[in-house]
């Protein structure tokens, strides 16, 4: 993984990266290749399928300048862990590619790695390799490889009419953090909350064999419902009275609650489960310390809607995201500098 361009002002080159990983992180060695070699090697459990997902977090778009680097690393790994979890894969290894502008401290880079390692280690997945390159913008690109069972992976596309729609947790945690951050103009606690990704790995493993379809709610439950409906060619109806709104937004007026609730950044799981398997699903999630909420159902048709006494309201359409613009505006005003 050594490339040209390394002899720049970047604070930690790729060799430094691998030396640091080898000496500071457990790195989940398999013996097949030593850490710091040109590639990482991981041994799949017998009969398993490799599940792979990659995500890029860019400064100014996905995290604000001045965000604590350990939290950025944890968030980067967490976003990919959440994707793997939503398919029912057991995460095994994490690769981290760092883009580092000149002047970035070595401490910043190492803290990102420590954060990614800590996020994965909770699930026995370790940082096993990566890359680091000088670049004009800070970015963290995480790749997670996990192991699944071919017959038990949960696609987006399997929901059927009659299925119940379930979710693992509170709706609007991400939007609530964003509301506070916008109000307080970038306090450290709010920066941390925005990066507080809690991937539902154990819940995903418990649910995958029981559900017809699953997705994470990284872009919010509304967005995910649209994706699930489209991929599965069904209509999804969510009951707003059964949605487990985050308690920080539950008392807001409806429009504000839904704006925050559907904002994104929740990283819960949304799944379509046959009603015959609901009790087992509730028990399976409970057995790993989680909780499952029935929030709606699948019908014949298309689209995703909120159901109510006065009929159907379309769920806000996918892709709404003022986050990037809001953050840029903020940074131009006052760039916090702690943690760098």
Exposure class string for 6-30: b at 16+ Cβ within 10 A, else e: beeebbbbbebbbebbeeebebbee
The interface mask with its own copies, positions 235-274, x = CB under 8 A, is -----------------------------xx---------
How far apart CA 131 and CA 33 sit, in angstroms, is 17
At residue 243, the 3 state secondary structure works out as coil
Q: Which stretch binds its own copies (CB under 8 A): 90-98, 253-261, 272-280, 291-299?
A: 90-98
179 binding its own copies? (CB under 8 A): no
232 binding its own copies? (CB under 8 A): no
22, 49, 250, 278: which one contacts its own copies (CB under 8 A)? 49
Which residue do the tokens 């916090």 mark? 336
50 binding its own copies? (CB under 8 A): yes
**Binding residues for its own copies, how many (CB under 8 A)?**
84
22 binding its own copies? (CB under 8 A): no
215 binding its own copies? (CB under 8 A): yes
Closer Cβ to its own copies, 122 or 133, answer by number: 133
69, 120, 148, 244: which one contacts its own copies (CB under 8 A)? 148
How far apart CA 79 and CA 282 sit, in angstroms, is 24
Which residue do the tokens 């707003």 mark? 240
Residue 213 C-beta: closest distance to its own copies, Å: 10
Contact 291, 200 (CB under 8 A): no
Residue 197 C-beta: closest distance to its own copies, Å: 11
106 binding its own copies? (CB under 8 A): no
Residue 308 C-beta: closest distance to its own copies, Å: 27
218, 221, 237, 295: which one contacts its own copies (CB under 8 A)? 218
64, 72, 79, 315: which one contacts its own copies (CB under 8 A)? 79
176 binding its own copies? (CB under 8 A): no
160, 182, 320, 340: which one contacts its own copies (CB under 8 A)? 320
DSSP string of 280-330, one letter each residue: HHHHHHHHTT---EEEEEEESSSSEEEEETTEEEEPPPTT---HHHHHHHH
- How far is the CA of 15 from the CAs of 2, 11, 22, 88, 229, in angstroms? 8, 11, 11, 34, 46
How far apart CA 304 and CA 238 sit, in angstroms, is 8
23, 105, 276, 324: which one contacts its own copies (CB under 8 A)? 324
């Amino acid at each position: 993984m050594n490339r040209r361009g390394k002899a720049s002002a970047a604070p930690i080159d790729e060799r430094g990266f691998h030396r640091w990983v080898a000496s500071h992180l457990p790195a989940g060695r398999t013996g097949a290749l030593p850490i710091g070699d040109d590639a990482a090697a991981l041994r799949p459990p017998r009969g398993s399928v490799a599940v792979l997902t990659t995500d890029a977090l860019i400064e100014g778009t996905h995290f604000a300048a001045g965000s604590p680097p350990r939290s950025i690393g944890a968030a980067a790994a967490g976003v990919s862990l959440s994707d793997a979890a939503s398919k029912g894969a057991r995460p095994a290894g994490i690769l981290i590619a760092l883009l580092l502008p000149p002047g970035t401290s070595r401490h910043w880079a190492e803290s990102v790695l420590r954060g990614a390692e800590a996020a994965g280690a909770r699930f026995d997945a370790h940082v096993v390799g990566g890359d680091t390159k000088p670049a004009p913008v800070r970015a963290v690109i995480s790749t997670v490889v996990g192991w699944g069972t071919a017959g038990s992976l949960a696609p987006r596309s399997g929901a059927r009419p009659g299925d119940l729609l379930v979710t693992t947790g509170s709706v609007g945690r991400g939007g609530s953090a964003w509301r506070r951050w916008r109000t307080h103009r970038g306090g450290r606690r709010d920066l941390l909350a925005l990066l507080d990704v809690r991937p539902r790995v154990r819940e995903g493993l418990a649910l995958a064999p029981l559900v017809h379809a699953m997705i994470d709610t990284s872009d919010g439950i509304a967005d995910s419902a649209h994706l699930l409906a489209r991929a599965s060619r069904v209509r999804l109806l969510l009951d707003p009275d059964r949605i487990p709104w985050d308690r920080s937004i539950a008392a807001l007026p409806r429009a504000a609650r839904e704006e925050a609730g559907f904002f994104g950044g929740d990283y819960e799981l949304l799944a379509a489960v046959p009603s015959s398997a609901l009790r087992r699903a509730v028990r399976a999630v409970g057995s790993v310390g989680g909780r499952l909420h029935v929030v709606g159902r699948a019908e014949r048709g298309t689209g995703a809607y909120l159901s109510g006494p006065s009929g159907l309201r379309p769920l806000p359409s996918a892709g709404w995201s003022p986050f990037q613009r809001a953050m840029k505006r903020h940074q131009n005003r006052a760039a916090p500098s702690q943690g760098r």
